[in-house]
Amino acid sequence: MKLLFTVFASLLSILNVSCQNDILVNDFLKTTNIVSIQEILNQYINSGYELNRNRSNEIIFNGELFFQNSKSDPVIYLTKTIHENPKGYGNARIGSVDKIIHIGSEDINNENLIWKIETVISIKSYSLDSPVRIKNFFNKVETGIFKTIKKNGGSIMSSTSEFGCTDPFNVWYDLIKSNKIIYNQNNISIKSGVSRMRDTHFMFIEVKNEVHCQFYESIISMAEDRNRALKSTFDKLKFRIDGGDIRKFDTNDLEGMVNVFLDDCKKNKLLINENQNISIIFEDLKDPIIALSYGLGFDNEIEIKVDPLKWEASSPQKKWYIIYHELGHDVLNLLHGQGGRMMFPVAEGDYEWDEFLQDKNIMFTLGRNHIKKN
């Protein structure tokens, strides 16, 4: 227990030194002016922070490459791992400080604008009384922030509480303190909260320039709206075959489905006979068969029978999957095992639309090579 107490006391000593050096408490100063990003980075690096990188030495944030986080705005991700080496304990990782710095542009070599900084402090519990000590340290950080504000001539205009918030790493905070600050004619918002997950305690601090934040968040919102619109357009286009959306197609029009397939072949530049005699009808088939083709090897005829009850019980995407499978035989002359998963001899329980699209493209690619060989 004495050893654990020594470890934790050492940790708090390290963090208190950081606090005294304004590493944790003066972020609001960085959001008020155009600054040299490299100079700011050097300040953090000199204080023990490192740029977060993956195994390829690429700077990352939230699993994505630098400047490509989920919100589409440029960020710099810094992390400071807290270790201590008391005698007999080894090299123990007992905490970390992570900073996400949101900047105005991707140019970090020239002067830039920092409009938001998010800090997450995480500390492990290693002794029975450590939660109390951690809470006291978090209170000291919060007190240090407001002392630094007053020391630099800033004023606290209002303080409120908000319910429910997640940090950049999806840790949940039940209660968040929100403060509005005036500093050097800048409106600054500072939010802070604490949380605990099992044996790890968290403190989240968000500092942002309100005016700059409104501007950049509006740009991000517009970019996200544009991306959603592009995705929606792409989704519509990828389901358009023969001039219509196949998801809305009447799947009781069996001959119409065949014509969609033939048009899809043409669209994908498969050299097939487009003028074939089409015979596709509903007819009872033995279990578990849903559909059967009879035109393999006959390039002038398409003959398929479909079991009506099993067809009715199938989803739209499964119906398309089955029709494409049978036409893989009848039109592309593929045997089971020659066209990827779509030409597997046994139908699965159901399929997703993306599975249908992916598997038909694979079948078309293999079918194209099959046609060339024959």
**Of 201-210, 299-308, 343-352, which one has max mean pLDDT?**
299-308
> Helices marked H in 183-274 — which ranges?
210-238, 254-267
Instruction: Report helix, strand or coil for 241.
Output: strand
Spatial neighbors of 173 by CB under 8 A, at least 6 apart, are 164, 165, 166, 167, 193, 194, 195, 202, 204
Tokens 């402090």 correspond to what residue? 121
The Cα 90–Cα 327 span in angstroms is 66
The span from the first CA to the last CA of the chain, in angstroms, equals 79
User: For residue 37, what pLDDT band results from cuts at 50, 70 and 90?
Assistant: confident
Tokens of 175: 């209660």
CATH no. for 236-373: 3.30.2010
pLDDT in tens, 94-120: 778 888 888 877 666 667 778 888 989
Q: Which H helix or E strand runs over 92?
A: strand 92-103
The winner for highest mean pLDDT among 39-53, 77-91, 278-292, 339-353 is 278-292
Whole-angstrom distance, CA of residue 17 vs CA of residue 24:
10
Q: Which two tokens stand for residue 71?
A: 């919100």
Mean pLDDT of 289-303: 90
What is the value of pTM for the model shown? 0.51
Residue with more model confidence, 332 or 46: 332
Domains of the chain, residue spans? 2-224, 236-373
